[in-house]
Chain A
Amino acid sequence: MRSLTTLAAILALVASATMGATQALAHGQSVTADPISAQPGATISVKGEQLGGNRDVPVLLIGMGKEIPLGTARTTPQGAIDTQFSVPTDVPAGNYALRAKGKEDADTGFTVAAMPTMGGAQMGQVAPAAPEFPARERPLSEIAILVAIFGLLAGFGLFVAQATRERTDRKEGAIAEMLPASAGGSASAS
C-alpha cells in the first residue's frame, strides 16, 4: 500500500501543477471561415467567439509575407462575430492564416485558390466543386480472391511460426539432454 500512497501523492502534485498551468493559458477565443478555401473575389462567412464584447475586430489574412485586411466586424456583447467578407481580388493564391484581432487574437487556416486559367468559374465565384471519383466497385469474385490471398498469407505465417517452434523445441530438448545440469540443462524447456 505504501507504493500506492506514493503514487497518489505524486499524481496529485502533477495534476495540481498541470491544472493551474492550463487554466492560466486557456481563453477560448476562436474564429472560423466558411468555406475554408475560396478564389479571389469570393464571399466568405467568418464567425468568431470570445473576442471581447462590443468592439471592432479587424479581420485579416496573414501569409506569403503579407497582411491583407478583409474588413472589420463588430462583436456582440458576448464577444461573437458573424460577418461576410469578400476575398480581395489581388490576393495571391496560397495558404493563409485568417486572424480576428479581438481582445485576444484568434486564427484559423484559409486557402486562397488559384483562378482558373481558361473557362471555368467567373471572377468572384467559388470554384465549382471538383467532381469526386466514382467509388471503386470490386466484383465479389475479386474480393474473394484477395481475401483468399490474405488467408494464404496468414496461413503461411502461422505455419512458419508453428513449424519453427516445433523444430526448436526438438533441438532445445536435445541440447538440454546433452548439457550438464550445472549449465542449465534442466531449465531449458520452454
Chain B
Amino acid sequence: MALAPPLSRPHSQPVGEIPAVRRDVSAPTGAWAWLDDRLGLSALRYAVPPHANTFWYTLGGITFVGIAVLALTGIWLAQYYNPDPTAARLSVLYIQNLAPFGDVIRGIHVWTAYLVVLTASLHLIRVFVTASYKMPRELNWIVGLGLLAALMFGEVFSGTVLRWDQEAYEALEHNIAAATLLGAVGGFFSRGFTSSVAILPRLYVAHASIVPLVLIVLLIAHIFLIKHHGISPTPAQADTGQAPGGRLPKALQTGHYPTHLRLMAGYGLVLVALAGTIGLIWPQPIGPAPDPSLEITKPAFIFYWLYAFEDWFGIPGILYGAIGFFGLLILVPFVDFGPTRALRGRPAMAILGVIVLLAILALSIYIGVQPPAKHLSM
C-alpha cells in the first residue's frame, strides 16, 4: 500500500529562534510520519536534555517497560489461574508444571515484579541524589512514591498471596492483622468486609484490576508532570543558574527524544531477559498447602526490612515501618527546599539518605540469616 505523503505540521517554536537543522533530527519520516499525521502521536513527545539519554535518567522508563511486561504476562497467567481458595494453589502448580511455557512466563512475571521494584528504587535514589524532587516537582515526587507503594504493597504483596501456599496464607494473615490495626481504613482486607466471597478472590480482583487501574492513573499523572515540567536539570546546571525555576530552557534541551524511547526499550529488553533467565535457573517455589496452625515462613525478600520491625514490635511494626519509611520520603521535598541541588551542598540529606539505605540493606541481610519468627500471636 502506498502511503500518502505527510502533511507539513506547524512547529510550536517561533521561526528563527532555533536553526532549522534541529527540526530535521527528530522529525518523523516515512510510515511513522504517516501515522503521526493521523493519530497525533508526536503530542506525546517532550523536549529532553542530553543528560536524559543516560542509564540513570532512563530508570523510570525501564520501570515503565517492566510494568508493561507485567501486564502482558499477567494476562497470560490469568487464563490459567483459579482464585477459588480450594483450587488456587493447584492452578499455580498447573501453571508451573503443565501449562505451555507456564514456568517461563511465570518466571518472567515474578522476577520482573522484583526487578521493577529494584529499578523503581534506583530511580528514586537517582531523583534523591540529584534533588530532582525540588520545586516545581514536589508533587511528582509524591506521585512517584505512590507508584512505588502501589507496586510493592499492591501488586507484589497481593501476587504473593495468590500463590495460596503456606507463605501466602501467612502473608495474608499478617496483612489482615495489620489492617485490623487501621480500623475502618483497613476494612477492605478484613474477612468481615463481605461474607458472599472469600478474601482470596477479592485480592485477585485487586491484583488484576483495582491496583493496575491505580497504577495507570498514577503513571499518567507522573508522565504528564514530567512532560509539563520537563526533565529535571542536573545539579550542576541548577546550581550554576542554568535552570531558572527548576526548568531547563529550550536551548539546553537538545537531546534526542526517540533516543530516550529506544534506550527505554533496549534496557527494558535486558530487564525481561534477566527476569526470564533468573526464573529458569531459580524458579519461584510453590510451598505446601496452607496449615493455619503454623507460622513458619518469611515474606518475599523485598519485604525483609519491614519484617525486621515486625520481629521487634509485633504486627504493628509492619505499619510503623511502612508508614515511617514512606512518611519520611514524602516529607523530603518539604524539608529540603533550599536552592542547592548538588549532594555535597546538602550534607544533612546525604547523611539521612545513606543511613536509610544502609539500614534497609542491613535489616534485609539480618532477616535473611534469621529463622522465621512467630508474630501473629504476639
Chain A interfacial positions (CB closer than 8 Å to B) = 1, 3-4, 6-7, 10-11, 14-15, 18-19, 22-23, 25-26, 28, 30, 32-34, 36-37, 45, 47, 49, 62-65, 95-97, 107-109, 111, 113, 129-130, 132-136, 138, 143, 146-147, 150-151, 153-154, 156-162, 164-165, 167-168, 171-172, 175-176, 178-180, 182-184, 187-190
Contacts and interface: CB of A to CB of B under 8 A. Distances in A.
Contact of B50 (A136, A156, A190): A190
Contact of B86 (A3, A37, A162): A37
A143 B274 CA distance: 14
Contacts of B17: 183
B335 A107 contact: no
Given A18-B319, A109-B85, A150 B198 contact: no
Q: Is the interface of B mostly helix, strand, loop or mixed?
A: helix
Interface string B243-280: 00000010110111001001101111110111011001
Contact of B251 (A107, A134, A147, A183): A183
B224 interface: no
A111 B86 contact: yes
B328 interface: yes
A95 B98 contact: no
B19 A154 contact: no
A70 B59 CA distance: 55
B190 interface: yes
Contacts of B251: 182-184
Given A18-B319, A32-B292, A160-B262, A136 B270 contact: no
A37 to B, nearest CB: 5
Chain B, interface size category, equals 35 or more
Contacts of B277: 147, 150-151, 154
A11 B191 contact: no
A4 B352 contact: yes
Interface of B: 17-19, 21-22, 25, 50-51, 53-54, 85-86, 90, 93-94, 96-98, 102-104, 169, 177, 180-183, 190-192, 195-201, 242, 249, 251-252, 254-256, 259, 262-263, 265-270, 272-274, 276-277, 280-281, 289-293, 315-316, 319-320, 323-324, 327-328, 331, 335-336, 338, 348-349, 352, 376-378
Contacts of B349: 3
Contacts, number: 202
A175 B25 contact: yes
B321 to A, nearest CB: 11
Contact of A146 (B169, B242, B280): B280
Which of B277, B324, B336: most chain A CB closer than 10 A? Answer: B277
Given A10-B331, A146-B276, A136 B103 contact: yes
Nearest to A136: B97
Contact of B280 (A1, A65, A143, A184): A143
Nearest to B272: A153
B318 to A, nearest CB: 11
B266 A11 contact: no
B263 A161 contact: yes
B263 A132 contact: no
